Amino acid sequence: MEVEHEIGKLMVELSKSQDFEIGDGTTGVVVLAGSLLEQAESLLDRGIHPLRIAEGYEMAAKVATKELARISEKFEFDAQNIEPLIQTCMTTLSSKIVNRCKREMAEICVKAVMAVADLERKDVNLDLIKVEGKVGGKLEDTILVNGIVLDKDISHPQMSKGIKDAKIAILTCPFEPPKPKTKHKIEIDTAEKYEELRQQEEKYFNDMVKQCKDSGATLVICQWGFDDEANSMLMQQKLPAIRWVGGVELELLAIATGGRIVPRFTELTPEKLGSAGMVKEVAFGTTKERMVIIEDCAASKAVTVFIRGGNKMMIDETKRSLHDAICVARNLVRSNNIVYGGGSAEIACAIAVEEEADKIASVEQYAMRAFADALDAVPTALAENSGLPPIETVADIKAQQLKEKNPVLGVDCKEVGTNDMKSQGVFETLIGKQQQILLATQVVKLILKIDDVILSGEAM
Whole-structure pTM value: 0.72
Predicted confidence (pLDDT) per residue in 271-299, tens digit: 999 999 899 988 876 667 788 988 888 77
pLDDT of 287 reads 65
Say yes or no to pLDDT of 375 above 80. yes
Predicted confidence (pLDDT) per residue in 142-178, tens digit: 989 888 888 888 888 888 888 999 999 999 988 777 7
Say yes or no to pLDDT of 460 above 70. no
CA distance 90 to 427: 10
Candidates 436, 420, 328; CA nearest to 77 is 328
**Cβ neighbour number for residue 142 with a 10 Å cutoff:** 21
**Cβ neighbour number for residue 385 with a 10 Å cutoff:** 12
DSSP reduced 3-state for 89: helix
Predicted confidence (pLDDT) per residue in 204-223, tens digit: 888 888 888 888 999 999 98
Strands (E), 180-313: 219-222, 241-242, 261-262, 274-284, 289-297, 303-309
Predicted confidence (pLDDT) per residue in 351-373, tens digit: 999 999 999 888 999 999 999 99
pLDDT bracket for residue 441 (50, 70, 90): very high
Percent of the chain with pLDDT over 70: 97
Candidates 403, 416, 430, 417; CA nearest to 341 is 430
Q: State the distance between the two ends of the chain, measured CA to CA, in whole angstroms.
A: 20
pLDDT of 458 reads 56
Instruction: Say which residue, 455 or 151, is predicted with more confidence.
Output: 151
Predicted confidence (pLDDT) per residue in 171-209, tens digit: 998 877 777 677 777 788 888 888 888 888 888 888 888
Rg, the chain, Cα only: 29
pLDDT of 194 reads 85
Domains of the chain by range and CATH? 6-75+340-448 (1.10.560.10), 147-300 (3.50.7.10)
pLDDT of 117 reads 87
pLDDT bracket for residue 59 (50, 70, 90): very high
> Are 380 and 362 spatial neighbours (Cβ–Cβ below 8 Å)?
no
From the centroid of its chain, how far is CA 281? 26
pLDDT bracket for residue 62 (50, 70, 90): very high
pLDDT of 185 reads 77
Predicted confidence (pLDDT) per residue in 64-122, tens digit: 999 999 999 888 887 788 888 888 788 788 878 888 888 899 999 999 999 888 888 88
CA distance 333 to 327: 10
Q: Which neighbouring-strand residues pair with 87?
A: none
Q: Which neighbouring-strand residues pair with 293?
A: 149, 280
